[in-house]
Chains A and B, each alone.
Chain A
Amino acid sequence: MKTIKIQINDKIGFHARTASIFSKSASEFKSIINIEFKDKKVNGKSMLSIMSLGVKTGDSVIISCEGEDEEVSINHLKNLINNNFNS
Chain B
Amino acid sequence: MNHNKIKGIGASPGIEIGEIFFIKKNNISIIKKKSSNKPIDEINRLKNSISILEKKILGLKKNLKNKISKENLSIYDSNIEILKDPDLIEKTTHLIKSKNYSAEYSYKYCSEEYVKVINKIDDEYISARANDIKEISNELIEVLLGKSSTDINFSSPKILVSEKISTNEIASIKSKYIKGIVTAEGGSTDHVSIISKALEIPAVVGLKSKIKKLKNNDKLILNGQEGEVIYNPTPKQLKEYKTKKNILKEKFKNTIKKNKETAKTISGQLIKVNANIGSLNDAKKALKYGADGIGLFRTEFCFLNRQNFPSEEEQFKLYAKILNVLPKKEFIIRLSDFGSDKKVDYIDQPYEQNPAMGYRGLRLGFKYYDKLLKPQLRALIRLSIDYNIKILCPMISDIDDLKEIKKALINESENLKLNKRSHVPLGIMIETPNVAMNAEEFIDHVDFFSFGTNDLSQFLMAADRTNENVAKYHEKAIPSIMKLIENVCNISQKKGKWVGVCGEIASKKELLKMFIKVGVNELSMSPTMIPEIKESIRKIKL
* Chain A contact residues, CB within 8 Å of chain B: 7, 9, 12-13, 15-17, 20, 23-24, 27, 42-43, 45-49, 51-52, 54, 56, 78-79, 82-84, 86
Closest 7 CB pairs of A and B: A46-B87, A82-B306, A54-B121, A52-B117, A15-B125, A48-B85, A9-B305
Residue of B nearest to A84 (CB): B305
Q: Which of A51, A79, A82 touches B126 (beta carbons < 8 Å)?
A: A51
Contact partners of B52 in chain A: CB under 8 A: none
- Tell me if A17 and B87 are in contact (CB < 8 A): no
Given the known interface contacts A16-B126, A46-B86, A54-B126, the answer about A86 and B280 at a Cβ–Cβ threshold of 8 Å is: yes
Judged by DSSP, the binding face of B is: helix
Q: How far is the CB of B109 from chain A (nearest CB, A)?
A: 14
Which of B75-83, B231-239, B259-267, B444-452 forms contacts with chain A?
Answer: B75-83
Does B133 lie at the interface of the complex (its beta carbon under 8 Å from any beta carbon of A)? Answer: yes
- In the complex, whether B254 has a CB less than 8 A from a CB of chain A is no
User: B117 — which chain A residues lie within 8 A by C-beta?
Assistant: 52
Q: How many inter-chain contacts with C-beta < 8 Å in the A-B complex?
A: 71
Contacts of A56 in B (CB 8 A): 123
- Judged by a CB distance under 8 angstroms, whether B390 is at the interface is no
Q: Which of B82, B120, B121 is the most central at the interface, judged by chain A CB atoms within 10 Å of its CB?
A: B121
Give complex CA distance A42, B125 in Å. Answer: 20
Jot down 14 A-B pairs with beta carbons below 8 A, ordered by A: A16-B129, A17-B74, A24-B81, A27-B86, A46-B86, A48-B82, A48-B133, A51-B126, A52-B114, A54-B121, A54-B126, A78-B307, A82-B305, A86-B280
Complex contacts, A42 vs chain B, CB 8 Å: 87
Residue in A12, A45, A52 whose CB lies within 8 Å of B125: A12
Pick the residue among B74, B86, B121, B321 that contacts A86 (CB under 8 A).
Answer: B321
Give chain B's interface residues, CB within 8 Å of chain A: 74, 77-78, 81-82, 85-88, 114, 117-118, 120-123, 125-126, 129, 132-133, 279-280, 302, 305-307, 318, 321
A83 touches B306 (CB 8 A): yes
Asked whether B78 lies within 8 Å of A47 as measured between CB atoms, the reply is: yes
Q: Given the interface contacts A52-B118, A82-B305, A86-B280, does A47 sit within 8 Å of B82 by beta carbon? A: yes
Which B-chain residue is minimally distant from A13 (CB atoms)?
A: B123
Interface centre among B87, B132, B306 (most CB of A within 10 A): B87
Question: Which A residues touch B307, using CB under 8 A?
Answer: 78, 82
A82 to B302, CA, bound (A): 10
Complex contact A51–B129 (CB within 8 A): yes
Task: Tell me, in angstroms, the Cα distance from A13 to B125 when the chains sit together.
Answer: 10
Closest to B310 in A: A83
What is the CB-to-nearest-CB distance from B219 to chain A, in angstroms, rounded to a whole number? 37
12 new A-B contacts, CB < 8 A, other than A9-B305, A49-B87, are A15-B123, A15-B125, A16-B78, A46-B88, A47-B78, A47-B81, A48-B82, A51-B118, A51-B121, A78-B307, A79-B306, A83-B306
Shortest C-beta distance, B324 to chain A (Å), equals 13
Neighbouring B residues of A9 by C-beta, 8 Å:
305
A52–B217 alpha-carbon span in the complex (Å): 42
Q: Considering the chains assembled together, what is the distance between the CA atoms of A84 and B306 in angstroms?
A: 10
A7–B123 CB distance below 8 A: no
Known: A20-B77, A23-B81, A51-B126. A43 touches B87 (CB 8 A): yes
